[in-house]
Structure 1
Amino acid sequence: MAFTTLWPLAQLFAAALRPGEDGSPLGLMAEVLASRATARALSGTLVTSGLSVIVSTTLGVGLAFAVGLLRLRSRAALTFLILMPLVIPSQTMALAWIELAGANSPILGALGLAPPPGTTNPLYSVAGIALVMGVEHMPLVFLATRAALRAVPADLIEAARVIGTPRRRIAAGIVLPLVAPSILAGALLAFTAAIGNFGVPALLGIPGRVSVLTTLIYQRLNGFGPSAAGQVAVLALVMAALAAAALALRGLALRRLAVPLPAGRPFEPARRSPLGEGAIWLVVLVIAVVPLAALVMTALLPAVGVRFGAGTASLAQFAAVLGNEAVRRAFANSLLLSLACAVVAVAVSVPFAYLVTRRPGRLVRGLDLVVEVPWVIPGTVVALGMILAFLPPLPLLGVSLYGSMAILLVAYLARFLPLVLRPVTAAAQTADPALDEAGRIVGAGLARRLTRIFLPGVLPAAVAGALLVVMTALNELTLSALLWSSGHETIGVMVFALQYEGNSTAAAAVAVLSTLLVLALCALANAAARWLPERILPWRQ
């Protein structure tokens, strides 16, 4: 924790709190906060994030009520498609929507709805960024709302039906007030995710000249290098403060507004509505499948501007990117980093969870809180802390991690460790502590108790967490965009770089290949679901 989290964050605070050029305390912070670029980026962040929350809440609540209150024949498949934005990387989602809405859209072009040739993509705007981020973060609101709906006792709804209350009034007057705190909590979580989103604002905002804090930090570091570290550290602290405020409000909403409900059997939907089910499928297909279809069709074209058709579609672009040494290296690097991160995270999480559940103390509880920090604060903040901490040579070793794969691995481990630790800790809390005590009584040492008693009980949770780490880290961009170097490219960086260079078809091909890889991992996790703990895989909850 000291190496991956505390030291980088301390370096970040130290850089941001430096005195100004005239020696005045907090002078650097005052200079950065007073600049016009900071005000514009802060305004852009708040506006795009706020508008995206409206989209996320509208879609998430509507779909959660539809899935939770209607009897659907294909609930599992529908839920997986609704949660696909959690699986598909941010830059891939942005690229898919760009290809769907642009003048060369293979789908809108065939329908005669594409913008005229030569016009700017309508998504290169504040509204476009808000729309795509809203769709991407919609599952956060959906999951929170659906979990709250499942906690509503069936007796309350049945009692309202007995006295003749109309269905609409039951939903608006009974169910909605009970789940409102969870909706607010999910919306605030979506706002936090939007603040730290880099992929969507980078691919849509930079061409559209819409400035947000994440892209301003990226552009400052790209343009001025480490010399701008102090300035961007101030921007990073602003982002962290916004995220902390949103998370504090979320905790307050859950504590103060949540209504205690009587125990009872959960509500099971009994009403079937073919029209409603068709409407749900239409919405889900439009937001989850149609953009990806446009991405696949673009990847099948030989060049930008070529009209999609039977005579133009081919796999030539896939062959070209697979023959590109940089792309192959990016896939190899991403696989290596994600697998190494998963293995190290498991190795750290098992003894850590043992301490949390079997030997709790003040230090352990403090470290348990520290683990969450890199996950809840924006990834750009974490990446900047890594640069400040590991750009200078390490003490005693005299070696700098900056510009190497090691700094990416450290950043990934800091960011994704909770994905393994939380399932392992939850599994450990359900195990009988008497087993460990019995092993200690008969003379088994700590290492033996960990490997023979504790590990078998939490291994399924550790494997599930490791799968989540691999799926999340494989296409990561926010950390990698600031930490990659020549020869250490990742999949997310390659997609972003190809699109930024104007090679949309190649970027689409790489994005499609990475998406197929993630979906294959999802299929693997789904096949192994019976051996994994419950509620680990979001689409099976």
Structure 2
Amino acid sequence: MSLSVSRSFARPFPLNGHFALKLLVLAVLGLLVAGPLVRILLETLSPDAISAWSDVTTGRLSRNLLWVPLTNTLILGVGVACGCVLIGGFLAWLVVMTDVPFRRTIGLMATLPFMIPSFATSLAWGSLFRNSRVGGQSGFLEGLGLTIPDWLAWGMIPTLIVLIAHYYSLAFTVIAAALATVNSDLVEAAQIAGAKRRRILLGIVLPVAMPAVVAGASLTFAGAVSNFAAPALLGLPVRMQTMATRLYGLIEVGQTSRGYVVAILLIAVSALFLWLGNKVLSGRRSYATITGKGGRAKRFDLGTARLPLFMVALFICLVTTVVPVIILIASSLAPSSSALFSNWTLHYWTGLSNPSIAQGQPGIWESPFIKSATSLTVGLGVAVAITSSIIGLIVAYVLARDGKGPLAGLINQISFLPLLVPGIAFGAAYIALFGAPIGPLPALYGTFPLLLIAGTAYLLPFSVQTGRAVISQVSGDLDESARMTGAGMMRRLVAITVPLASRGLAAGGLIVFVKIMRDLSLVVLLFTPTTPLLSVLAYRYASEGFTQFANAITVVILVISIAATLMANQLQAKSQPWLKS
């Protein structure tokens, strides 16, 4: 009798019902995530499109279609990964393991760059360093009489710098969390044995933090190779192509088959390097540093180097957070980028149409099109946050309450698959699947539902992760008690899980909202005049030379994103070890 009761409690709900729910979740994930990726592959294997593979890989145009963009993409990926690990690791070491002054301030500022869209940093770079080679417009420094070389204004070097400035906070967050777990007994033992600080750093701290270093490098590499905004704004004017920009160009001119091939290859490059990172980690036996014994934090005494290192860290944080925002605001007010801080005007914000200024373009708050884009962008962010949170919560519930078996494993793998897919490639996959009618369903290209579905699927991994975190805080006993009273799964979710985990779910929804608000790579291919989005409008204005309007729109995106992020942080109130004294 007791044995049967214990087995009953081990099962959250009846086996048949749970199996049916798993099948339903798997079908939804298959449609949202796997379906578009399979469709894009099938499109390139059709008789009419199979030649696109040879055109891209071995044809007479393959050098321009694939090999040069692939080389540039790998250079960016490796360069950004190395730069982010160096900068993020340096700041993480300072904040977590040293007595550098104002550690909390540095730790907070080091997490902010990822909140600023990469196209915002690219626009700020252009406002400062642009030279008259492209479009005849000069940046602020050239306006002061300085000669800006082409390699600093356009191409690979500025793109590398901008992407490192954008992504290093990812490496910082991952490495800082790992360093916070380093057992101080190891450091003290090495000091007692007479080891120097450099020896301790390289012989103890670095090996212990190696998983985080590899993870940070993998994440920043994947982000760099999939980034569209920075290479498009700083590279395309001098014909520097990456796989992301080449994919965009091919789809734009109607060469969809070749574009789909490039998308598949871009996915393969990103997935390959993420797999190599996991392979490196799995090859090590153990990284365990947390034991059952308590330990106090042990910080390196920097001595006379405290102030210089603090100044270096503060400079990095200011240049990557405060300076770009100041430049963007100034550029949205100045008639010319060559004179950012003089003759300010509100015309680009609230001015009426004037034929003598910007070809008669009214200010962004006097433009019905931009007002419509603002409403549509905010509405899309809210809708994606809601739908993604709902689906993510259901997926997380299934995995948390009965995560065993092949079906659960498949659900888990598919739900995190979008992390391997660059945003612009994911957008191309959705065009392949929903760009034409499917049976009785009409074509969705150029509609709000396509943006909603694509955004929900692409950001699903974040919602699932948030859902798993909040569900783990709700005891399974509550769910089991409600089940025994006859409450169904949806009833238990709505009446128990959601109310108890509402703050965490709201925080996760706000994070999704911020990501879709500032995302360009995913939506740039899905953009149409009937579905205008702020991020794409900012890119289009910048491409056409209307930098003040582009920067003003970007400031709007920044204000909304920062406000939502601060709200999420307040709700989440997550622990950040490096902020503790």
Which TM-score applies when normalising by structure 2?
0.85
**Are positions 1:75 and 2:103 aligned together?**
yes
Question: Any stretches of 5+ residues in structure 1 without a counterpart?
Answer: none
Deviation at 1:55, TM superposition (A): 1.8
1:120-169 per-residue CA deviation (whole Å, 9 max, x = no partner) reads 57231112211211221212221222122112101111222233332232
Offset at residue 437 of structure 1 (A): 1.5
In 2, Cα distance between equivalents of 1:56 and 1:136: 9
Q: How far apart, in 1, do the equivalents of 2:211 and 2:401 lie?
A: 33
The whole-number CA distance in structure 1 between the counterparts of 2:100 and 2:376 is 42
Q: AA paired with 1:445?
A: G
**Alpha-carbon distance, 1:105 to partner:** 4.0
Q: Deviation per CA, 1:480-536, whole angstroms, max 9, x where unpaired?
A: 110011131111101100000001111111111211221122222233344xx556x
Does residue 498 (structure 1) correspond to residue 541 (structure 2)? The answer is yes
Deviations 1:447-471 (A, max 9, x none): 3222222223332221111010011
In structure 2, which of residues 501, 516, 526 is the aligned counterpart of residue 473 of structure 1?
516
> Residue 342 of structure 1 corresponds to which residue in structure 2?
385
Question: How far, CA to CA, are the matches of 1:297 and 1:442 in structure 2?
Answer: 62
**Deviation of 1:425 (Å):** 0.7
Deviations 1:328-363 (A, max 9, x none): 122111101010000111221222222111133432
* Alignment partners' CA distance in 2, 1:539 and 1:49: 30
Give the structure 2 partner of residue 63 of structure 1: 91
Give the Cα separation in 2 of the matches to 1:41 and 1:231: 14
Q: CA deviation at 1:281?
A: 0.6
Partner of 2:530: 487
Which residue is 1:251 aligned to? 278
Q: How does 1:201-212 map to 2 (within 5 A)?
A: 201-212=231-242
CA contact (8 A) 1:150 1:266 kept: no
Q: Is 1:275 aligned to 2:308, yes or no? A: yes
1:186 aligns with: 216
Question: Does structure 1 residue 29 correspond to structure 2 residue 46?
Answer: no
Question: Residues 390 and 401 of structure 1 are in contact (CA less than 8 Å); yes or no, is this contact kept in structure 2?
Answer: yes
Q: Does 1:240 align with 2:253?
A: no
Q: 2:367 aligns with which of 282, 302, 324?
A: 324
Question: 1:83·1:538 contact (CA, 8 Å) conserved in 2?
Answer: no
CA drift of 1:20 comes to 6.6
Indicate yes or no: 2:317 matched with 1:287: no
The answer to whether the Cα contact below 8 Å between 2:120 and 2:324 also exists between their aligned partners in 1 is: no
Counterpart for residue 69 of structure 2 = 41
1:68 and 1:98 mapped to 2: Cα distance? 34
Supply the AA of the counterpart residue of 2:498. Answer: L
| Number of residues of Structure 1 aligned to a counterpart in Structure 2 | 524
Q: Determine the C-alpha separation between the residues in 1 that align with 2:222 and 2:572.
A: 30
Distance 1:185 1:402, change over 3 A: same
Contact 1:16 1:237 in 2 (8 A): no
Does residue 387 of the first structure (1) align with residue 431 of the second (2)?
yes
Q: Tell me whether 1:138 sits opposite 2:176 in the alignment.
A: no
Aligned-partner Cα distance in 2 for 1:268–1:317? 53
Among 321, 332, 344, the residue aligned to 1:313:
344
Give the % identical residues: 26
Query: Structure 1 residues 336 and 114 mapped into 2: Cα distance closer, same or farther (>3 Å)?
Result: farther
Any residues of structure 2 matched to 1:88-487 within 5 Å, and which?
88-103=116-131, 104-106=138-140, 108=141, 114-115=146-147, 120=150, 122-224=152-254, 228-257=255-284, 259-263=287-291, 264=293, 265=295, 267-269=297-299, 271=301, 273-305=306-338, 307-310=339-342, 312-319=343-350, 320-360=363-403, 361-397=405-441, 399-487=442-530
1:52, 1:133 within 8 Å by CA — same for their partners in 2?
yes
The whole-number CA distance in structure 2 between the counterparts of 1:205 and 1:94 is 10
Residue range with higher mean Cα deviation, 404-413 or 515-524: 515-524
- Say whether the 8 Å CA contact 1:346–1:462 is kept in structure 2: yes
Distance in 2 between residues matched to 1:97 and 1:420, nearest whole Å: 33
* 1:335 aligned counterpart, secondary structure: helix
Distance, in Å, in 2 between the alignment partners of 1:125 and 1:540 is 41
Code of the aligned partner of 1:51: G
453-462 or 186-195: bigger deviation: 453-462
- Is the contact between residue 304 and residue 503 of structure 1 (CA under 8 Å) also seen in structure 2? no
Pick closer, same or farther for the CA change 1:414–1:195 going to 2, 3 Å: same
Q: 1:59 to 1:209 in 2, by over 3 A?
A: same
* 1:540 Cα offset (Å): 9.7
Query: Using a 3 Å threshold, how does the CA distance of structure 1 residues 208 and 55 change in structure 2: closer, same or farther?
Result: farther
Letter in 1 for 2:40: L
Instruction: Give yes or no for contact 2:69–2:242 (8 Å, CA) kept in 1.
Output: yes
Q: In structure 2, what is the Cα distance between the partners aligned to 1:136 and 1:429?
A: 32
Residue pair 1:152, 1:266 contacting (<8 A) in 2 also: no
**More moved, 236-245 vs 63-72:** 63-72
Structure 2 vs 1, CA of residues 527 and 188 (structure 1 numbering), >3 Å: closer, same or farther?
closer
Deviation at 1:15, TM superposition (A): 1.5
Q: Deviations over 1:417-469 (max 9, x none)?
A: 22221021122234321221122222223232222222233322211110100
Alignment check: 8 A CA contact 1:102 1:115 kept: no
Spell out structure 1 runs of 4+ moving beyond 4 A: 537-541
1:49-79 CA-to-partner distances (Å, cap 9, x unmatched) read 2222222222112111111222345333322
* Structure 2 residue identity aligned to 1:308: L
For residue 153 of structure 2, give the secondary structure of its aligned residue in structure 1: coil
Q: Which letter does structure 2 place at the counterpart of 1:353?
A: A
Unaligned runs of 5+ in 2: 1-28, 132-137, 351-362
Instruction: Check whether the contact 2:175–2:213 (CA below 8 A) recurs between aligned residues.
Output: yes
* Counterpart-to-counterpart distance in 2, 1:424 and 1:215: 34
Q: CA deviation at 1:11?
A: 0.8
Please say if residues 318 and 510 of structure 1, whose CA atoms lie closer than 8 Å, have aligned partners that are also in contact.
no
Q: Relative to structure 2, which stretch is displaced further, 255-264 or 63-72?
A: 255-264
Structure of larger gyration radius = 2
